[in-house]
Chains A and B, each alone.
Chain A
Amino acid sequence: QVQLQESGPGLVKPSETLSLTCTVSGDSVSSGSYYWTWVRQPPGKGLEWIGYIYYSGSTSYNPSLKSRVTISVDTSKNQFSLKLNSVTAADTAVYYCARCRGSLGWFDPWGQGTLVTVSS
């Protein structure tokens, strides 16, 4: 059974960098069949795709966030990570990691999500 688990600070100061890691179990990020993605959801609002990464390191980002986002993969630890810099209160959200079925595919499964609050 594939499981994903997000980890990282729950509180980030404005203008600083949000950093999260997703640990994958039950599958390998190097499997080659999937892309590994980040999605966020502001409290009480809808879902926004942030970007994804392939095990080779190839990435694709949402243009709305592209200038501030970096997604990386660590195949030795079976993890992938998200960095979002210059954060503001608008970046307060539950951040989910998920497995994406191909370069054009749906997201399944998802991690449980982690709330990141941007506040001084």
Chain B
Amino acid sequence: DIVMTQSPDSLAVSLGERATINCKSSQSVLYSSNNKNYLVWYQQKAGQPPKVLIYWASTRESGVPDRFSGSGSGTDFTLTISSLQAEDVAVYYCQQYYSIPYTFGQGTKLEI
């Protein structure tokens, strides 16, 4: 199984400041045949299901504010929120879909 490790486990950021969450996979999730990273970022607010923010490591889902961005390749990935808003308080998860079984990071709790 591919192990996904996020850092930090929790993060407190002031309104308007930048938040950065890291995700590391135990093996590369980059398919050489199509040069795509099989990594997605989800946001989960309290009492709600996860919601897709970023897929293919850096493609923003339709309707997601552009303050959210994803970067990285191979085994190291980053989710950045450029200017934190109150509504961004949530737990953020990365997940690889490179191979079965799909695996998630342990989550990063983002607070203000």
Contact = CB atoms under 8 A, between A and B. Distances in A.
Given A108-B52, A112-B49, A62 B40 contact: no
A74 interface: no
Nearest to A47: B104
A104 B107 contact: no
* Chain B facing A: main interface SS: loop
Contacts of A113: 49
Interface string B6-34: 00000000000000000000000000000
Nearest to A111: B49
Contacts of A111: 49
13 contacts: A46-B93, A46-B104, A48-B104, A49-B104, A61-B101, A63-B101, A104-B98, A106-B52, A106-B97, A107-B40, A107-B50, A108-B51, A112-B48
Cβ-closest 10 pairs across A and B: A110-B49, A106-B40, A49-B102, A62-B101, A47-B104, A108-B52, A106-B55, A46-B106, A46-B107, A104-B97
